[in-house]
C-alpha cells in the first residue's frame, strides 16, 4: 500500500500503512529497503533530514570490501562515489616511538565521497521501489498489548503522523531513539547498552594546495590517550578526510582543537582549507547479542554492527540491511513477525561478522588496562603482517618463528606481551563460542551465560574494568 492509499485522517494526524517501515536513510536502511521492495512489498524509509541533506553522514570515508558488498544495490551503481582506489596499506605513525609501520590492507579498499555514496544508495533504493519520506523525525514507537512493535509516530514540519506496519526496521544509527521508547520486556533484544561502549568522533574534509605523498595509504596515529586515534584518509591526493575519536569511558577530548593542533604540525597540510565538518557517536563494542523483538529488527549502527577497532561500519550496515530485509520477506510471507521467525537475522550477523567483532573488542578491553607508552612500545615491535591478519580476522595464527621474532623485538615489553598472548587465547575462545550462536531463541539464555563467563575470565586476566 502506498503513502496516499494508506493515509487516513483522524484527530488531525496522518496515518500511513506499509508492509515495512524503516527508520533512517543510511546504508543499513537503504540496503534493507531495496531488498524488501524488490520482493514486491511496500516499504517506506522515514528520514529526519531533508532530501538534499540525506546521505550526508559523519564518516572517515574509508570503504572496505566494496567488491563483496550485497548485490541488492549493485557495485556499479555506487562506484561513482569511489574517489581513490589506489589505497593498499595503512601507515601507522607512532611519534612516541619514532616509528612508522606500513601494514597491508587485505581485500579491496576505496576512499569515497561519502555524501555522494549516500545519495547513490538512496537512488538505488528508490529504483527498487522504496518510498522516502524526508524531513520526518521519528519520535516514538507503537506497540500492541502483547508487546509487538506495530509502527512509529513522527513529526513532519510540526505535524504529527503515524506509520503502521507489521514490521519496523530501526536503521536510525548509534544510540537510536527507538530503543529508548520500546518496551523490550519479554523479548531477547540486547538492552545492556551504555554510553561508555561508544566513541565520540569528529571529522573534517580539507583541501591542500599540493598533493600529499601518502595518497596510497590510510594514515593513522594514536591520540595522546590510548583509547583514541587520529586519521588522515586521502579522498584524492589533494582532498583529505581528517578526523579523530575517543572512547566515551575516557575523559572527553577537545576534538576540534586537538585535530587543528595535529594538522598544524604537518608540513604537507599547510594552507589547507576546510570544506566540510561533521561529528557523531559510533558504537565501539561487540554487536548487540540480539537485535530482534516481535515486529522489530535493529540494523547497522543501531545494533553496533561496527568493527570496534577500526570503527568501520559501512559494510556491516550493508549486510545487516540485506539479512534483515531477507528475514522481513520470510516473516511477511509467513504472516508471522515473532522473534522465532526473525531470529535467523541474528544468526546470520553473528556467523558473518558478529563473532569476529566481539573477539576484536577483547583487544579494546585489553588496551584500557595498559598505559599508552607500554602499548605503543609493544605495537611498534609487532610484525605488520600479523597485525594486519589480527585486525581484519579477529584472530591470527602466529607461527613459532614469528613468535620468536616478536619476543626478541619486543624486549622491554615482556609483561605486556605475555598478557597480550593470554588475551589472544581468550579472544579465540570467545570467537569459538560465537560460532555456537543458537539457531533459535530457546538456546539464547544458555549461550549468553556461557559468553558472560568467558568475559569474566577476560576481565580477570586483563584487569580491565567490566565493559558490559
Ligand atoms: C566520525 C566517524 C567516522 C567513521 N568512519 C568510517 C569509515 O571510514 N569507514 C566505515 O566503514 N565506517 C565509518 N564510520 C561508521 C559508519 O559511518 C557507520 O557505521 C555507518 O554509517 C552506519 O550506517 P547506518 O545506516 O547504520 O547508520 P547511519 O549512517 O548513521 O544512518 C542513520 C540515519 O538515520 C537517520 N535518523 C536518525 N534518527 C532518526 C529519527 N529519529 N527519525 C528519522 N531519521 C533518523 C539519520 O539522519 C541517518 O540518515 C564512521 C563513523 C563516524 C561517526
Which residue is listed with cell 555514496?
117
> How would DSSP label each residue in 403-453?
HHHHHHHTTT-HHHHHHHHHHHHHHHHHHHHHTT--SSGGGHHHHHHHHHH
Nearest CA to ligand 1 atom 35: 24
Nearest protein Cα to ligand 1, atom 50: 59
350 phi/psi in degrees, rounded to 5: -65, -40
Residue 124, ligand 1, Cβ within 6 A: no
Q: Is 314 in the pocket of ligand 1 (CB under 6 A)?
A: yes
Of all protein residues, the one whose alpha carbon is nearest to atom 33 of ligand 1 is: 24
Answer yes or no: is the C-beta of 138 below 6 A from any ligand 1 atom: yes
Helices (H) and strands (E) in the chain, counts: 14, 21
For the Cβ of 29 lying below 6 angstroms from any atom of ligand 1, the answer is yes
Distance 87 CA to ligand 1 centre (A): 23
Q: Quick check: 437 and 351 in contact, CB under 8 A?
A: yes
Would the CB of 287 count as within 6 Å of ligand 1? no
Q: Looking at the CA of residue 243, tell me the nearest atom of ligand 1.
A: 1
Q: Which residues of 253-287 are buried (b: 16+ CB within 10 A; e: fewer)?
A: bebeebbeebbeebeebeebeeeeebebbbbbbbb
- Cβ–ligand 1 distance for 90 under 6 Å, the answer no
Q: Decide if 454 contacts 361 (C-beta within 8 A).
A: no
Residues of the chain with pLDDT under 50: 1-7, 9-10, 400
**What is the Å distance from ligand 1's center to 62 Cα?**
13
The backbone torsions φ and ψ at residue 214, rounded to the nearest 5 degrees and listed phi first, read -100, 40
Minimum-distance ligand 1 atom for the alpha carbon of 55: 49
Residue % of the chain over a pLDDT of 70: 89
**Is the pTM above the cut of 0.75?**
yes
* Residue 324 CB–ligand 1 contact under 6 Å: no
Q: Ligand 1: which atom is nearest the Cα of residue 315? A: 11
Q: Mutate which of 16, 25, 26 to test ligand 1's pocket (most atoms within 8 Å of Cβ)?
A: 26
Strand ordering across the sheet containing 131-133:
131-133, 43-46, 20-23, 167-170, 296-298, 292-293
Distance (angstroms) between ligand 1 centre and the Cα of 284 equals 13
Q: What is the pLDDT of residue 335?
A: 98
299 Cα to the center of ligand 1, angstroms: 11
Q: Is 156 in the pocket of ligand 1 (CB under 6 A)?
A: no
Q: How far apart are CA 328 and CA 298, in angstroms?
A: 12
Q: Rounded CA gap, 231 and 220, in Å?
A: 5
Which residue among 176, 301, 357 has the greatest number of ligand 1 atoms within 8 angstroms of its CB, and so is best to mutate? Answer: 301
Residue nearest to atom 41 of ligand 1 (CA): 138
**Residue 60 CB less than 6 A away from ligand 1:** yes
Closest protein CA for atom 3 of ligand 1? 59
DSSP class per residue in 314-362: HHHHHHHHHHHHHHHHHHHHHT--SHHHHHHHHHHHIIIIIHHHHHHHH
What is the whole-number distance in angstroms between the Cα of residue 301 and the centre of ligand 1?
A: 7
Amino acid at each position: 500500500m502506498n503513502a496516499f492509499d494508506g493515509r487516513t485522517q483522524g484527530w488531525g494526524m496522518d496515518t500511513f500503512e506499509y508492509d515495512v517501515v524503516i527508520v533512517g536513510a543510511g546504508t543499513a536502511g537503504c540496503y534493507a529497503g531495496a531488498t524488501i521492495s524488490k520482493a514486491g512489498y511496500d516499504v517506506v524509509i522515514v528520514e529526519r533530514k531533508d532530501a538534499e541533506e540525506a546521505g550526508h553522514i559523519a564518516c572517515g570515508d574509508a570503504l572496505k570490501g566494496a567488491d563483496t558488498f550485497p548485490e541488492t544495490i549493485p557495485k556499479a551503481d555506487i562506484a561513482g562515489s569511489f574517489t581513490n582506489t589506489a589505497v593498499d596499506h595503512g601507515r601507522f605513525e607512532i611519534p612516541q616511538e619514532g616509528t612508522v609501520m606500513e601494514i597491508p590492507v587485505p581485500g579491496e579498499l576505496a576512499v569515497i565521497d561519502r555524501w555522494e555514496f549516500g545519495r547513490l544508495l538512496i537512488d538505488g533504493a528508490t529504483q527498487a521501489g522504496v518510498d522516502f519520506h524526508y524531513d520526518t523525525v521519528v519520535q516514538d514507537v507503537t506497540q500492541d498489548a502483547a508487546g509487538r512493535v506495530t509502527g512509529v509516530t513522527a513529526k513532519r514540519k510540526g505535524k504529527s503522523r503515524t506509520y503502521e506496519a507489521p514490521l519496523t526496521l530501526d536503521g536510525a544509527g548509534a544510540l537510536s531513539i527507538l530503543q529508548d521508547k520500546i518496551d523490550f520486556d519479554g523479548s531477547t533484544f540486547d538492552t545492556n547498552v551504555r554510553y561508555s561502549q561508544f566513541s565520540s568522533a569528529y571529522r573534517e574534509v580539507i583541501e591542500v594546495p599540493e598533493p600529499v605523498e601518502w595518497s596510497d595509504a590510510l594514515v593513522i596515529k594514536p591520540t595522546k590517550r590510548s583509547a583514541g586515534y587520529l586519521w588522515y584518509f586521502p579522498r584524492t591526493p589533494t582532498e583529505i578526510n581528517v578526523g579523530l575519536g575517543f572512547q566515551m569511558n575516557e575523559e572527553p577530548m577537545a576534538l576540534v582543537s586537538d585535530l587543528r593542533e595535529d594538522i598544524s604540525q604537518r608540513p604537507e597540510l599547510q594552507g589547507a582549507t576546510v570544506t566540510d565538518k561533521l561529528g557523531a557517536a559510533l558504537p565501539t563494542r561487540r554487536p548487540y547479542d540480539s537485535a530482534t523483538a516481535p515486529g522489530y529488527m535493529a540494523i547497522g549502527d543501531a545494533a553496533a554492527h561496527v568493527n570496534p577497532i577500526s570503527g568501520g561500519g559501512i559494510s556491516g550496515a550493508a549486510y545487516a540491511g540485506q539479512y534483515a530485509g531477507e528475514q522481513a520477506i520470510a516473516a511477511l510471507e509467513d504472516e508471522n513477525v515473532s522473534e522465532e521467525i526473525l531470529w535467523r537475522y541474528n544468526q546470520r550477523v553473528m556467523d558473518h561478522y558478529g563473532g569476529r567483532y566481539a573477539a576484536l573488542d577483547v583487544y579494546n578491553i585489553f588496551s584500557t588496562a595498559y598505559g599508552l607508552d607500554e602499548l605503543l612500545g609493544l605495537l611498534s615491535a609487532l610484525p605488520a603482517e600479523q597485525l594486519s591478519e589480527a585486525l581484519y580476522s579477529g584472530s591470527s595464527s602466529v607461527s613459532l618463528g614469528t613468535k620468536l621474532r616478536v619476543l626478541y623485538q619486543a624486549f622491554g615489553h615482556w609483561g605486556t606481551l605475555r598478557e597480550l598472548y593470554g588475551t589472544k587465547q581468550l579472544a579465540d575462545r570467545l570467537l569459538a563460542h560465537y560460532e555456537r550462536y543458537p539457531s533459535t531463541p530457546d538456546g539464547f539464555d544458555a549461550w549468553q551465560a556461557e559468553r558472560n563467563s568467558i568475559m569474566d575470565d577476560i576481565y580477570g586476566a586483563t584487569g580491565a574494568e567490566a565493559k558490559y
